Amino acid sequence: MSTAPFRRLLVTGGAGFIGSHFVRLALACGISEIVILDKLTYAGSLLNLEGVLDDPRVRFLQGDVADPDAVAEAIAGCEAVVNFAAETHVDRSLLEPAAFVQTNVWGTMVLLEHATRARVARFLHVSTDEVYGEVLNGAAKEDDPLRPRNPYAASKAAAEHFAYAYWTSYGLPVLITRGCNTYGPYQYPEKFIPLAITNLLSGQPIPIYGDGLQERDWLFVDDHCRAIWMVLLHGEAGQVYNIGASEHRPNLAVARALVELLGADPETIVHVADRPGHDRRYAVDWSRLAALGWRPRISFAEGLAKTVAWYCARQDWWRARRDDAFAAYYTRNYKGRASVSRSS
């Protein structure tokens, strides 16, 4: 991997899932200094930064991207910004949409404003393939229209529009990435793959929304981070880059693979009431990123096996995350989704 052309990098949301992996990658690539700004909501944790916080190149600040004072302190002296800070879970956005506007839209605005004043050389905004809405056929290209269909996706699309506006209006060198579904170690257990693994390890069933034939493209977290690093260093300002893996699977197939890897009973897959507005399929064309020289390195089979092995080995980590707050969320999200049937 190339080394960074800037000395000090601000990583917001660096104690979250993808953010913490990205911090490790940037350190391994020889970055001189990293400032991590993270609010430490339920999704972020210092447990995700084990082995990182002792590094003398890292400064950790607990703070909110929506707080201008916290951002002003964090961005001082930084030459580049990678914005991971976000509320990211679709189910939660259906329960509490306002929190998504506050962090994802207003928080991004505050960052853009301060990054413009600080004249940073790069501002990479981490977005999602969900901004295209469901892609029933083919694969979305970067210039396709955005048709977000849930509050999370709508907030990410709005944030992107502000980021792009800061490029065209104020010349802030903005880059946007739209990643597909990402999985791997340290992912908070509300998301489908870690929820399924930790449920199975706890003797609970895997809840499948609706018929389970919704399709996602699954990218291992290390590959996602390498893609962001590549775009940060070599992307063209003002451009959007899709990040895909070309590893599309229906949810039911993912659940069955996990049941097999963990030697669980196939009866532990249960169908429950569907997510409202559930997008049937996502798919992106990532040839623009491939032209920069990036390719995913980890196949889905390999990544899933690594992920299962990690959750089996790190029960200390995920049992600490499946705490009372998680239980309260779980009850709230799944209580209206009583089991519809066992999967056949």
Residue 65: φ, ψ to 5°: -65, -20
- Residue 318 engages ligand DAU in binding (rule: CB under 6 A): no
Q: Which stretch binds ligand DAU (CB under 6 A): 124-132, 257-265, 287-295, 323-331?
A: 124-132
User: Which one of 208, 233, 257, 298 is in contact with ligand DAU (CB under 6 A)?
Assistant: 208
Shorter beta-carbon distance to ligand DAU: residue 12 or 88: 88
Q: Say whether 215 is catalytic.
A: no
- Residue 209 engages ligand DAU in binding (rule: CB under 6 A): yes
Q: Say whether 130 is catalytic.
A: yes
Residue 319, C-beta contacts closer than 8 angstroms, at least 6 positions apart: none
DSSP string of 33-47, one letter each residue: EEEEEE---SS--GG
DSSP string of 90-148, one letter each residue: HHHHHH-HHHHIIIIIIHHHHHHHHHHHHT-SEEEEEEEGGGG----SS-B-TTSPP--
Q: Which stretch binds ligand DAU (CB under 6 A): 6-14, 99-107, 205-213, 323-331?
A: 205-213
User: Which one of 198, 251, 268, 343 is in contact with ligand DAU (CB under 6 A)?
Assistant: 251
Q: What is the DSSP letter of 322?
A: S
Shorter beta-carbon distance to ligand DAU: residue 238 or 250: 250
Give the closest residue to 3 by CA, choosing from 39, 30, 24, 40. Answer: 30
| Min dist. Cβ of residue 143 to ligand DAU (A) | 19
Shorter beta-carbon distance to ligand DAU: residue 8 or 191: 191
Beta strands in 141-258 (DSSP E): 174-179, 181-183, 206-209, 215-220, 240-243, 248-250
Q: What is the DSSP letter of 210?
A: T
- Residue 104 engages ligand DAU in binding (rule: CB under 6 A): no
Q: Residue 127 has which token pair?
A: 């977005």
Distances (CA, A) of 33 to 10, 123, 233: 9, 16, 16
Shorter beta-carbon distance to ligand DAU: residue 17 or 123: 17
How many residues of this chain interact with ligand DAU, rule: CB under 6 A?
19
- Residue 120 engages ligand DAU in binding (rule: CB under 6 A): no
Instruction: Give residue number: closest CB to ligand DAU.
Output: 128
Annotated catalytic residue within 79, 130, 247, 279: 130
Q: Say whether 113 is catalytic.
A: no
Residue 306, C-beta contacts closer than 8 angstroms, at least 6 positions apart: 184, 185, 220, 298
- Residue 248 engages ligand DAU in binding (rule: CB under 6 A): no
How far apart are the C-alpha atoms of 197 and 92, rounded to whole Å?
20
- Residue 321 engages ligand DAU in binding (rule: CB under 6 A): no
List active site positions.
129-130, 152
Site residues, ligand DAU (CB under 6 A): 88-90, 128-130, 180-181, 191-192, 195, 207-209, 214, 216, 251, 275, 282
